[in-house]
Amino acid sequence: MVRLTVQLIAKSSNNFKISRSESLQQYLKKLTHLNFSNKNIEDIDDLSMCKNLTVLYLYDNQISEICNLGFASNLTHLYMQNNNISHIENLSSLHKLSKLFLGGNSIIVVEGLEELKSLKELHIEGQKLPRGEKLVFDPRSISSLSESLCILNISKNNIDEIWDMAPLKKLTHLFAADNQLQDIQELETVFSQWCQLHLLDLSRNPVSHKPKYRDRLITVCKVLEDLDGKQINELSRQFLINWKASKGAKKKLGDRKGQITTPVTTDFHMGPQHPFACDHTSSLNPSDYRRPGVKFRQDQIRAVSRGGRSKRQNILVRSSRP
User: In this predicted model, what pLDDT tens digit does every residue of 235-258 receive, in sequence order?
Assistant: 777 766 776 666 655 666 666 666
Which of 178, 207, 242 corresponds to the end of one domain?
Answer: 242
Q: Domain of 13: which CATH number?
A: 3.80.10.10
pLDDT tier at 108, thresholds 50, 70, 90: very high
- Residue 142 three-state SS: helix
Give pLDDT, residue 255: 66
Average pLDDT score over residue span 169-174: 98
Give pLDDT, residue 25: 85
Between 89 and 25, the more confident residue is 89
Q: Based on the domain organization, do 180 and 287 belong to the same domain?
A: no
Q: Based on the domain organization, do 169 and 313 belong to the same domain?
A: no
Across the chain, what does the average pLDDT equal? 82
- Quickly count helices (H) and strands (E) in the chain: 7, 16
Q: Based on the domain organization, do 272 and 238 belong to the same domain?
A: no
Between 16 and 55, the more confident residue is 55
Residue 257 placed within a domain: no
Q: Give the C-alpha separation, 254 to 276, whole Å.
A: 46
Q: How many domains does the chain have?
A: 2
Query: Which of 123, 131, 132, 78 is closest to 105 using CA atoms?
Result: 123
Q: Based on the domain organization, do 277 and 225 belong to the same domain?
A: no
pLDDT tier at 23, thresholds 50, 70, 90: confident
**268 pLDDT exceeds 90?**
no
Q: Which domain holds residue 98?
A: 2-242
Cα dihedral 307/308/314/317 (nearest 10): 150
Residue 97 placed within a domain: yes
- Angle (nearest 5°) at CA 269 between 263 and 270: 145
Residue 248 placed within a domain: no
Residue 69 placed within a domain: yes
Query: Which of 52, 39, 56, 55 is closest to 1 using CA atoms?
Result: 39
pLDDT tier at 143, thresholds 50, 70, 90: very high
Burial (CB count <10 Å: 0-12, 13-18, 19+), residue 285? exposed
Average pLDDT score over residue span 132-154: 97
Q: Determine the residue type at 315.
A: I
Q: Based on the domain organization, do 136 and 281 belong to the same domain?
A: no
Residue 35 placed within a domain: yes
Q: Based on the domain organization, do 154 and 204 belong to the same domain?
A: yes
- Angle (nearest 5°) at CA 82 between 79 and 85: 85
